[in-house]
Amino acid sequence: MRTLIRGGTVLSSTGAVTADVLVDGETIAAVTAPGMLAGQNVEVDTEFDATGKYVMPGGIDAHTHMEMPFGGTFSADTFETGTRAAAWGGTTTIIDFAVQPKGSSLLSTLDNWHEKADGDCAVDYGFHMIVSDVNDATLKEMESCVAAGVSSFKMFMAYPGVFYSTDGEILRAMNKAADIGGTIAMHAENGIAIDELVARALAEGRSEPYQHGVTRPPELEGEATSRAITLAKVTGSPLYIVHLSAAQALSAVAEARDEGQNVFAETCPQYLYLSIEDLGKPDFEGAKYVASPPLREKHHQPDLWRGLRTNDLSVVSTDHCPFCFKDQKELGRGDFTKIPNGIPGVEHRIDLLHQGVVAGEISLARWVEACSTTPALMFGLYPRKGVIAPGADADIVVYDPAAEQTISAETHHMNVDYSAYEGMTVTGRCETVLSRGSVVVDRGTYHGRAGHGRFLERDLCQYLN
Ligand SMILES: [Zn+2]
């Protein structure tokens, strides 16, 4: 089965060229000058005319939470619905977080996540491991995780009593990661201090969603980020700060990077476009925007865009963690601490970042790099993913940069009853999406199937200094 994508502007992390892309089976066979294959008797089964369109490597969303347990409920997208929505938006790989409950083993957790995802995914997927219980046995199991293709381990400086790890536990896990080549991903917020602010707010009767933002100030993200960076420096472990939202945290990352430390960070579209004002929407609507770290004051946004330009923010992921407004977010009426944390987003990351290109905030090359190439390198998937080149998996998006669309829960494909970007009109849209050579989406029609997506055994980080 051969597919030819003709005459498009082929994008990479270094720029753009007009070229034809030949797909043979599941991989890219050739990238040639336009028309070069025409006289060469190459038989092609399907052709797409990509004139005037971008041809880019499929997106990699390195931060999703499908079917994630939280406060007695589960995030609303299954691996089936969540990867279908991802495909609609041009994301052909997700890396989801397997969540170790305290007292269980990492390998049984991994089995559990395989069971959830196996046979259900429309696009390829990998896992990170959330380590919430650091002890001799789980430290040893980190080696088996790496051998099983799970080379990154997330820890929490937030959520005392649930996922929280002490500095000592973090140090032990980082030492192990440094020994075995793993990467530590960190949720960097000072949860101990936050819990005090939360207790005071509730005692004073401040219980509405806006208080979620007030009780998690950006200084406590900055402080935790600095502390994580220091612990990583002492141990020699690579560090990847997840969902960076605040200028204070960005400064800490930039300083460490200037010193040559292997410290990296991602941000998410919600921190680039939404703000704490959304948390203040009336009639409990603010609950739709409750996630941690919280949405910040708007003045953080230009700093985050600058961080994307300078590569102090290397990756854009979504932290996709959808909870329906009805019955799920509503669990927190009268007590903001009971609102399930998370914002849906897996479907619109590529489009929202393309808006950054349209607005002149980032270049085309940075768009592709932050959404696809760098996550592939960061998480050991390159050059199988993250690039349009011979031999790479044929995960390809034909993107129409001129199309207009209005984001809405009425038309999105995520299994959630609201959109955080309801009514926002964006320029650009995925026209055709291929996952390993199979057409998954084409001009508004879905052709994918559950079970097409395969588990990706990832190598170690390929992005180290
Ligand atoms: Zn997350």
Three-class DSSP labels, 232-261: HHHHCCCEEECCCCCHHHHHHHHHHHHCCC
- Does 300 share its domain with 356? yes
Among 363, 378, 393, where does a domain finish?
Answer: 378
Q: Residue 431: enclosing H or E segment and its boundaries? A: strand 425-435
C-alpha 258/C-alpha 244 separation (Å) is: 18
In a domain, 451, yes or no: no
Q: Residue 441: enclosing H or E segment and its boundaries? A: strand 438-442
In a domain, 465, yes or no: no
C-alpha 203/C-alpha 206 separation (Å) is: 8
In a domain, 189, yes or no: yes
Strand-pair partners of 265: 241
State in Å: Cα 267 to ligand 1 middle.
Answer: 11
State in Å: Cα 317 to ligand 1 middle.
Answer: 10
Position 210 scores a pLDDT of 98
Position 227 scores a pLDDT of 98
In a domain, 409, yes or no: yes
In a domain, 460, yes or no: no
Q: Residue 80: enclosing H or E segment and its boundaries? A: helix 79-88
Question: Which of 244, 361, 233, 407 has its CA nearest to residue 314?
Answer: 244
- Does 368 share its domain with 389? no
State in Å: Cα 433 to ligand 1 middle.
Answer: 26
Position 408 scores a pLDDT of 98
In a domain, 455, yes or no: no
State in Å: Cα 152 to ligand 1 middle.
Answer: 14
State in Å: Cα 273 to ligand 1 middle.
Answer: 18
State in Å: Cα 65 to ligand 1 middle.
Answer: 7
Q: How many CA atoms does the CB half-sphere of 371 hold within 13 Å?
A: 32
Give ion ligand 1 contacts, CB < 5 A.
319
Position 271 scores a pLDDT of 98
Position 39 scores a pLDDT of 79
In a domain, 321, yes or no: yes
Question: Which of 378, 150, 17, 87 has its CA nearest to residue 369?
Answer: 378
State in Å: Cα 342 to ligand 1 middle.
Answer: 8
Position 7 scores a pLDDT of 97
Position 41 scores a pLDDT of 85
Contact 329, 321 (CB under 8 A): no
Among 346, 378, 410, where does a domain finish?
Answer: 378
In a domain, 452, yes or no: no
State in Å: Cα 431 to ligand 1 middle.
Answer: 29
- Does 8 share its domain with 120? no
Question: Which of 199, 130, 119, 123 has its CA nearest to residue 162?
Answer: 130
State in Å: Cα 390 to ligand 1 middle.
Answer: 33
**Which residue segment(s) compose the domain that 241 sits in?**
58-378
Q: Per residue in 383-398, pLDDT tens?
A: 999 999 999 999 999 9
Preceding amide of 293 cis, omega within 30: yes
State in Å: Cα 77 to ligand 1 middle.
Answer: 14
Q: What is the CATH number of the domain that holds 106?
A: 3.20.20.140
Position 71 scores a pLDDT of 81
State in Å: Cα 430 to ligand 1 middle.
Answer: 25
Question: Which of 147, 143, 224 has its CA nearest to residue 177?
Answer: 143
State in Å: Cα 292 to ligand 1 middle.
Answer: 8
Residue 341 DSSP class: P
- Does 344 share its domain with 208? yes
- Does 226 share its domain with 251? yes
- Does 279 share its domain with 348? yes
Q: Is 295 helix (H, G, I), strand (E, B) or coil?
A: coil
Position 88 scores a pLDDT of 98
- Does 46 share its domain with 132? no
C-alpha 154/C-alpha 156 separation (Å) is: 7
pLDDT beneath 70: ranges in the chain: none
- Does 51 share its domain with 82? no
- Does 190 share its domain with 220? yes
C-alpha 61/C-alpha 64 separation (Å) is: 7
Q: Residue 27: enclosing H or E segment and its boundaries? A: strand 27-32
C-alpha 179/C-alpha 186 separation (Å) is: 18
C-alpha 314/C-alpha 373 separation (Å) is: 10
Among 344, 360, 378, where does a domain finish?
Answer: 378
- Does 50 share its domain with 70? no
Position 56 scores a pLDDT of 98
Helix axes 218-235, 247-258, angle to 10 degrees: 20
- Does 104 share its domain with 239? yes
Position 21 scores a pLDDT of 98
- Does 240 share its domain with 297? yes
Domain count, the chain: 2
Contact 277, 315 (CB under 8 A): no
Q: Is 229 left (phi over 0), alpha (psi -120 to 50) or beta?
A: alpha
Q: Is 418 helix (H, G, I), strand (E, B) or coil?
A: coil
Please count the other Cβ atoms lying within 10 Å of the Cβ belonging to residue 98.
Answer: 22
Q: What is the CATH number of the domain that holds 23?
A: 2.30.40.10
Question: Which tokens is 95 given?
Answer: 């890396």
